[in-house]
């Protein structure tokens, strides 16, 4: 899939395997993909025109969108990682510390 691809049938088909639980059935419809893309274009500031050696525009609106969404996803994944690490932090208990651990989040004891 190319950046800026507007064949919404292929776009929706390509992103469907990456769905998150709880999305409505029409989330990956052609119409919804097109409206989400239009919304991204409307809410993204046009990039400052940088020129290459031959005068061509180096950065497009699509580039700005990709960079912004990538940065947002990286932050989401970092938070998820921190939350998961906190949830599953183990602390040894007593003389059998190599066998028993307590999980902070639910105080379950494992042997």
Domain count, the chain: 2
Has this prediction a pTM greater than 0.85? no
Whole-number Å distance between alpha carbons of 95 and 111? 13
- The answer to whether residues 54 and 104 belong to one domain is yes
- Report the relative pairing of strands 108-110 and 101-103 from DSSP bridges: antiparallel
- The answer to whether residues 61 and 30 belong to one domain is no
Average pLDDT over residues 7-30: 86
Whole-number Å distance between alpha carbons of 42 and 19? 24
The pLDDT score that the predictor gives to residue 76 is 95
- The answer to whether residues 29 and 71 belong to one domain is no
- Banded pLDDT at 11 (limits 50, 70, 90): confident
- Banded pLDDT at 69 (limits 50, 70, 90): very high
> In the predicted model, is pLDDT for residue 51 greater than 70?
no
- The answer to whether residues 67 and 91 belong to one domain is yes
- The answer to whether residues 74 and 88 belong to one domain is yes
Exposure pattern of 6-35 as b/e (b: 16+ CB <10 Å)? Answer: eebeebbeeeeeeeeeeeeeeebeeeebee
- The answer to whether residues 31 and 65 belong to one domain is no
Contact 93, 102 (CB under 8 A): yes
- The answer to whether residues 78 and 24 belong to one domain is no
Q: What is the pLDDT of residues 72-107, one digit of tens each?
A: 999 999 999 988 888 777 655 555 555 555 554 455
- The answer to whether residues 37 and 60 belong to one domain is no
Question: Which domain covers residue 61, as residue numbers?
Answer: 49-111
Q: What is the pLDDT of residues 12-21, one digit of tens each?
A: 888 888 888 8
């Amino acid at each position: 899939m190319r950046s800026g691809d507007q064949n919404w049938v292929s776009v929706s088909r390509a992103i469907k395997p990456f769905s998150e639980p709880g999305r409505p059935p029409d989330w990956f419809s052609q119409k919804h993909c097109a409206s989400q893309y239009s919304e991204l274009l409307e809410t993204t500031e046009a990039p400052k025109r940088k020129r290459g050696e031959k005068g061509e525009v180096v950065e497009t609106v699509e580039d700005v969108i990709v960079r912004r969404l990538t940065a947002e996803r990286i932050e989401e994944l970092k938070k998820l990682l921190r939350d998961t690490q906190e949830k599953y932090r183990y602390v040894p208990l007593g003389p059998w510390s190599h066998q028993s651990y307590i999980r902070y989040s639910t105080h379950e004891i494992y042997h």
